Amino acid sequence: MSTYLVIGASGNVGAELARLLAEAGHTVRRATSRAPTAPDQVRIDAASGDGLAAAMKGADGAFLLAPPGFAQQDRLLVPMIDAAKAAGVGKVVLMSAMGANADDNVPMRKAELHLEASGLAWNIIRPNWFMQNFHTFWLHGIVAEGAIQLPVGAAKGSFIDVRDIADVAARLITSHELDGRDFDLTGAVALDHDAVAAILSRETGRSIRFQDIPPEAMRQGLLGAGLPADYAEFLVTILGFFKAGYAERVTDAVARITGHAPRRFEDYAREHRAAWLV
């Protein structure tokens, strides 16, 4: 069995990936920004790079992502990639975001290009917007106002379940068959937020609607929640890309890599219905 470092192991994708790898019998190093509280945890300060070299040492593979809250993702990811190369890590899977490769000057794309040129065995996965956002980041508006409040108009998104992302990452990090390739990951269908609200209403028995809000209202809400100004601006910008239609595309990458169809939004909503009933 092999040893894998998972950055973001307490997040939606990282936690599921770590579980899959451990269940397959591998040794997993779960990165944490806090003092470790379990034997399989390793402390890494992504902002300073402290702990990176030790966490990478002896790892057969590493799963990398930029923690939320940082708009200049390349400043965190490039040192991770360099540490993986210095440690001789056998495979790196980088989670980026769908659309990041549209402009070579954006921070996430800079990190992608750095990995591609690193000499490491690599894959890049670019998932679309997560289904899980609806019971995490967008939860407050749904519970408090009965509304999904976003500045996205009637645009559609091919939302993806984070478990499908983790399934893909697990296949890629433990294999070299698809090395040197990037994949845009989506759900099977594209839905607008009126359709999402209708599904949530059916599953919960609540009246949930979609409310299109101005970008400035979104910006102020994010700032009021304590997000850094540059990260709030980043989120408003990418929501603008959603409104422009860039999140609507559907790919077959999940099925091709994992052998199973992406999970449906209806199934996600049914499994998490309790979140919207508090």
Question: Under CATH, which architecture does the 3-127+161-185+250-260 domain have?
Answer: 3-Layer(aba) Sandwich (3.40)
pLDDT per residue as tens digits for the range 14-23 = 999 999 999 9
Say if strands 92-95 and 41-43 run parallel, antiparallel, or are unpaired.
unpaired
Closest CA to 77 of 93, 89, 61: 93
**Per-residue confidence (pLDDT) for residue 215, from 0 to 100:** 97
pLDDT per residue as tens digits for the range 146-194 = 999 999 999 999 999 999 999 999 999 999 999 999 999 999 999 999 9
Domain ranges of the chain: 3-127+161-185+250-260
**Per-residue confidence (pLDDT) for residue 68, from 0 to 100:** 85
Residue 1 has pLDDT above 90, yes or no: no
Q: What number of other Cβ atoms are within 10 A of residue 13's Cβ?
A: 24
Under DSSP, the state recorded for 130 is B
**Per-residue confidence (pLDDT) for residue 16, from 0 to 100:** 98
Average pLDDT on 243-247 reads: 96
Alpha carbon distance 61, 20 (integer Å) = 14
Residue 58 has pLDDT above 90, yes or no: yes
* Mean residue pLDDT across the chain: 96
**Per-residue confidence (pLDDT) for residue 24, from 0 to 100:** 98
Is the pLDDT higher at 192 or at 278? 192
Task: Express as a percent the part of the chain with pLDDT over 90.
Answer: 95
Predicted TM-score (pTM) of this structure? 0.96
